[in-house]
Amino acid sequence: MPDLSTRQLRAFIALADQRSFTKAAAACHLSQPAFSALIRTMEQSLGTRLFDRDTRSVQLSAEGRLFETSARQLLGDFCLAISDLGDHVERRKGRVHVAALPSLAAGWLPAIFAEFRKTWPGIDLNLSDLLSDPCIDLVRSNKADFALAATGTSQAGLDVQLLCSDRFFLVCRKDHPLASEKALTLKKLVPYPFIHMSRNSSVRQALDAALRPLQTNTFLEVDQLATVTGMVEAGLGISVVPALTLFHFERKALVTRSLPIPNLTRKIYVVRRQEGSLSVAAKALHDLIVLRMKG
Amino acid sequence: MPDLSTRQLRAFIALADQRSFTKAAAACHLSQPAFSALIRTMEQSLGTRLFDRDTRSVQLSAEGRLFETSARQLLGDFCLAISDLGDHVERRKGRVHVAALPSLAAGWLPAIFAEFRKTWPGIDLNLSDLLSDPCIDLVRSNKADFALAATGTSQAGLDVQLLCSDRFFLVCRKDHPLASEKALTLKKLVPYPFIHMSRNSSVRQALDAALRPLQTNTFLEVDQLATVTGMVEAGLGISVVPALTLFHFERKALVTRSLPIPNLTRKIYVVRRQEGSLSVAAKALHDLIVLRMKG
DNA sequence: CACACTTACGATATTCGTAAGGATT
DNA sequence: AATCCTTACGAATATCGTAAGTGTG
């Protein structure tokens, strides 16, 4: 099977169009003899004359005419494929699939996504707002490019990098005693009824790990942060949630108070597959996320 | 727009399949470093890394995966186009359009076509069995590859070569006086009623030119040779026709007799366009026709 | 240390442009 | 003589294979 290059195709088509070696050579930025040799080489490798030529006229031979259709089609497809690849490399096209904890998806990610989308309007986005484990599963099965999740144990085959430490805040009604408490401590929280996220949430797990010795009055567990908001606002109890989720609690009736315990944090990691680099688009979003978090 | 060769596509696909530079290099009959350089060059010209590789594993990058689909499609199309061209060059495919006088089409061409078709079963044939002028028009308008016709005047832009001189024969019933005439001459034919082809036929024109001084008793003109056969067989008259048409007159009731006038001939020419070579298939048929005529 | 990809490097092959050649108008 | 394609040829470039280098399990 003979070798053939796009340059040869271009030269062939140029000559078919111009019907002149001199003009076609100029169009290909080649000296005329070099162009002539190129066509000759092509004819040899295809095993047939493609042009009937003498000093007075140049035109496609029967076989050349037959090949012309294919050549135009092939070169067109080639250009399409190459420019499509170029679009992806230049970030004019693409798709990034991010898996992220729901606690990040509602409050923190939207601004990042908006900025990303503004910078790279051609790149589409997928966001799987799931708990840590399904997030990581998506990464492992290569369905998501990377995940923003909380994972203590380092996973085999996955690259896990700390994105940030998310400090916990007290959330309660303005008329709650703790809202005006001068010196907040964990111990002062314990007596009050707590509204918690369910045990499989990263928020809850980080909290449990940090509060290990203390026993809280957990009278209600829910699955969604928004539900916590509603419950706290209704005066059913208090809650302790990470800073990145405070978006949910920006309400007139509520206050959020920093807790003076430095290592009471939930750690957020960027998780991606060890093997295989990120796509250009995914790397762009990844880098933006890291930049906006660190910066 | 970057250059790209089928060799590079093959290498890319081989590496995508084998996921090993060593194996893919072997598959491409290249040393491993040369293969490595080939992939590197390709990545540079496309402006993106196509494979994620370290000493332990080789796999497509996101951009490589994107390009893989196109690459396989492109290489497939390439092979198709090249092998299709090859089929035509090797005469496994093709089509030849011949224009030929009806007087040749029925009797003389069938054996040639049969032999040609047996030798090159993949090549389809078109035969336009028309009078000289429409035959030549087909050649000039590039609808026919060449024509077998009678043309005195050399036509501008056309290449005209003598194929054969077709001697005329007397055709009459066995019971006709001329059938047993010892020494045939033209003059002895004159008194008898003639059945002629119409004046726009090449047979008639050649005959008229050759018989110029003599006046024949032309009481019937027809358009088809087969009609001449029927008329002569019915005893309506005699006719004089070229040797290559005698096929029509091989019948029990008829005799065909050579006329002892050497230059009483109709000349058959091969007519083709001056510019532009014949297709491989057309040349094959052309050469066979010339060979069978001369040989 | 064994395996697999990369780098280094001299040798070979290809491709280039300039200049001369040949054919046609 | 002018035009256009081909041939000739030395120079620049690209590609090849061998051998050494590097990094990982």
- pTM listed for this prediction: 0.89
The closest CB to that of A63, out of B46, B47, B89, belongs to B89
pLDDT tens sequence across A55-69: 889 999 999 999 999
Question: Which of A159, A277, A283, A285 best probes binding to B when mutated, by most B CB atoms within 10 angstroms?
Answer: A277
Average pLDDT of B184-195? 91
Q: Are B13 and B79 in contact (CB under 8 A)?
A: no
The DSSP bridge pattern shows strands B94-100 and B146-149 to be parallel
pLDDT at A286: 97
Higher pLDDT, A77 or B187: A77
Q: How confident is the model at residue A151 (pLDDT cuts 50, 70, 90)?
A: confident
Q: How confident is the model at residue A215 (pLDDT cuts 50, 70, 90)?
A: confident
pLDDT at A152: 64
The DSSP bridge pattern shows strands B123-129 and B239-242 to be unpaired
Taking each continuous run of H as one helix and of E as one strand, the counts in chain A are: 11, 11
Count of CB contacts below 8 A, A vs B?
A: 125
SS3 B40: helix
Q: Please determine, for residue B160, whether its predicted confidence score (pLDDT) is greater than 70.
A: yes
Q: What are the chain A neighbours of B279 within 8 Å (beta carbons)?
A: 61-63
pLDDT tens sequence across B16-28: 999 999 999 999 9
Average pLDDT of B104-110? 93
Distance from CA of A169 to the nearest CA of B (A): 40
CA distance A91 to A85: 10
Q: From the alpha carbon of A33, which nucleotide's C1' atom is closest?
A: D6
Contact A276 B84 (CB under 8 A): no
Q: Which of A165, A166, A133, A94 lies closest to A271 in space, CA to CA?
A: A133
Proportion of chain B above pLDDT 90, given as a percent: 83
Residue holding tokens 């009604």?
A: A173
Contact B5 A2 (CB under 8 A): no
Average pLDDT of B264-274? 92
Query: Can you list the domains of chain B with their CATH numbers?
Result: 6-89 (1.10.10.10), 94-162+267-294 (3.40.190.10), 165-266 (3.40.190.10)
Q: How confident is the model at residue B61 (pLDDT cuts 50, 70, 90)?
A: very high
CA distance A269 to A149: 5
CA distance B76 to B92: 20
Residue B65 burial (10 A CB sphere; 0-12, 13-18, 19+): middle
The closest CB to that of B63, out of A6, A59, A89, belongs to A89
pLDDT at B276: 87
B96 → chain A, closest CA residue: A62
Q: What are the chain B neighbours of A1 within 8 Å (beta carbons)?
A: 6, 79, 82-83
Q: Please determine, for residue B157, whether its predicted confidence score (pLDDT) is greater than 80.
A: yes
Q: Which of A1, B30, B16 lies closest to B38 in space, CA to CA?
A: B30
Average pLDDT of A255-263? 90
Average pLDDT of A36-54? 96
Six-digit token string for B140: 């000039």
pLDDT at A261: 85
CA distance A201 to A149: 10
Strands in B5-145 per DSSP E: 51-53, 58-60, 94-100, 123-129
Task: Find residue A161's DSSP bridge partners.
Answer: A270
Distance from CA of A31 to the nearest CA of B (A): 18
The closest CB to that of A63, out of B7, B66, B280, belongs to B280
Q: Please determine, for residue B155, whether its predicted confidence score (pLDDT) is greater than 80.
A: no
Contact A74 B86 (CB under 8 A): no
Average pLDDT of A225-248? 95
- CA distances (Å), origin B192, targets A59, B88, B236: 56, 54, 10
pLDDT tens sequence across A73-110: 999 999 999 999 999 999 999 999 999 999 899 989 99
Q: Please determine, for residue B152, whether its predicted confidence score (pLDDT) is greater than 70.
A: no
Length of chain A: 295
Question: Which of B49, B52, B63 best probes binding to A when mutated, by most A CB atoms within 10 angstroms?
Answer: B63
